[in-house]
Amino acid sequence: GTAQIGVTGLAVMGRNLARNFARHGYTVAVHNRSYAKTESLVAEHGSDGEFVPSETLADFVASLERPRKVVIMVKAGGPTDAVIDELVPLLEEGDIVVDAGNAHFPDTIRREAALKEHGLHFVGTGVSGGEEGALNGPSIMPGGTPESYASLGPILEDISAKVDGVPCCTYVGSDGAGHFVKMVHNGIEYADMQLIAEAYDLLRQGLGASAAEIGQIFAQWNTGDLESFLIEITADVLQHVDAETGKAFVDIVLDQAEQKGTGRWTVQNGLDLGVPITGIAEATFARALSGSVPQRTAGLASLPAHTQEWEVKDRDAFIEDVRQALYASKVVAYSQGFDQIAAAAAEYDWAIDRGAMARIWRGGCIIRARFLNRITEAYERDADLPLLLADPYFTDAVASGLPAWRRVVAGAAQNGVPTPAFSSSLAYYDGVRAERLPAALVQAQRDFFGAHTYKRVDREGTFHTEWSGDRTEADA
Ligand code: NDP
């Protein structure tokens, strides 16, 4: 074979990845279960570079130079297993199988172990940036063995997005690490989107501003610390007018947010690891609430508001308050996400460089933002930073916005504007900086009804109090 890399699965993502490889000068073997997609890729985009189309998987494998590098870009789940099962007997020791779909990381761990038995490298890779990113440069998060990265890595770095000439692709860690980090990326994306949506809602209800006016505020914000892809598209969306009705586009969209499941995976894993990723969890539940139609119908019909008339006295000051509250809440959501990565690295034995993750998210992906540079710098200052919020840059940034943050959350509560992500982020901030937490009372309750024991602040040991007896304390 002569092809340097192969792509099987040529729907939107696979087709664009194959074109991206070809445009970078690689000879690309292409295959799809149904041949029509392969034919149309070559017919429509043959001018992008060298494609070697095959109708069967066996021909496809034979067209690749050794060690073979096969990128699978099919529907996640069963279809990925089906393609792997068909590929394995056709491959030889040392070949590299890359799953670039949105696999759940436990599946990637399982598949990596299975392929290792056959002497094959399995590389579960996160790819972010949608179809546009796949074509023009995605953010790429590969796991698997370091040996496989030695030959595969340079090709992936080549086709990834670049920021200041630095590729948005780096080796993440063994087996499922790449897909894990992609999952957390998506979770953070949920939190970021929810926070932006809450900021919009506050401005809308607080100022009575139109969607277009708020779009202009976001466009302004996009020139400062908040500069990011999500803020930029929000400014654009809010200024868009529905052609049919002449109304603001956002007002004709049904307010029930859907999800494909990566937010849910992230929250489930946060629970498994015991990491409080409240920003991501609230964002995921906010989508669930929006889709809870019977509950919302009943709530709308029955629940009183008891709010006061919202009087924003200084328009510009309020806008600035919301901006600062958004930035502070966003720092919390990212801080929590990076905590989750650290906890997972310890749990699943991955050596993940968190600063490098922030670096490869600066371009190509949905959460690309100026602010990620600050995260990279924080982990450069201290690779083992236990709390991103406690890095001096973020401590200062959040502290200066703290009065605004409290005003916004208090105002939202007083005026009945639901801000689950803003509010829970502030609660997390106050929780993580508290000297004493009421967790002491929870421990006491647990010991009372379940003899679950407690520790004391003043001496070592584990204790239990005879609550139903004479209330003496004993070593447990
Ligand atoms: P889809 O997820 O819609 O999958 C369609 C592709 O899977 C087609 O090539 C189809 O072949 C193939 N396929 C489905 N079942 C089988 C099977 N049993 N055996 C062999 N091939 C099968 O395609 P996308 O391009 O949208 O996404 C590909 C992957 O990338 C997914 O894992 C997705 O989650 C992930 N991803 C998608 C993003 C996006 O923005 N869409 C962003 C990032 C990742 P056929 O043509 O023969 O039906």
Per-residue pLDDT tens digits for 137-164: 999 999 999 999 999 999 999 999 999 9
Regarding the beta carbon of 79 and ligand 1, being less than 6 Å apart is answered: yes
**Per-residue pLDDT at 396:** 96
Residue % of the chain over a pLDDT of 90: 98
Q: Find the 106 Cα to ligand 1 centroid distance in Å.
A: 19
Residue % of the chain over a pLDDT of 70: 100
Regarding the beta carbon of 81 and ligand 1, being less than 6 Å apart is answered: no
Give residue for tokens 């709308």: 300
Q: Is the pLDDT of residue 49 over 90?
A: yes
- The residue count of the chain comes to 476
pLDDT, tens only, 305-338: 999 878 899 999 999 999 999 999 999 999 999 9
Given 69, 112, 182, 198, the catalytic residue? 182
Give residue for tokens 């967790």: 439
**Per-residue pLDDT at 441:** 98
Are the CB atoms for 71 and 8 separated by under 8 Å?
yes
**Per-residue pLDDT at 457:** 98
Q: Whose CA is nearest to atom 6 of ligand 1?
A: 74
Q: Is the pLDDT of residue 15 over 90?
A: yes
Nearest Cα to 37, choosing from 63, 55, 61, 64?
Answer: 55
**Per-residue pLDDT at 333:** 97
pLDDT, tens only, 413-447: 999 999 999 999 999 999 999 999 999 999 999 99
Q: Whose CA is nearest to atom 39 of ligand 1?
A: 130
378-392 average pLDDT score = 96
Known catalytic membership, residue 182: yes
Q: Find the 404 Cα to ligand 1 centroid distance in Å.
A: 45
Regarding the beta carbon of 291 and ligand 1, being less than 6 Å apart is answered: no
Distance, in Å, from the CA atom of 339 to the CA atom of 276, rounded to the nearest integer, reads 9
| pLDDT confidence tier of residue 1, bands split at 50, 70 and 90 | confident
49-65 average pLDDT score = 98
**Per-residue pLDDT at 16:** 98
Pocket test of ligand 1: the residue of 13, 83, 87 to mutate, having most ligand atoms within 8 Å of its CB, is 13
Looking at the chain, the number of H-run helices and the number of E-run strands are 20, 11
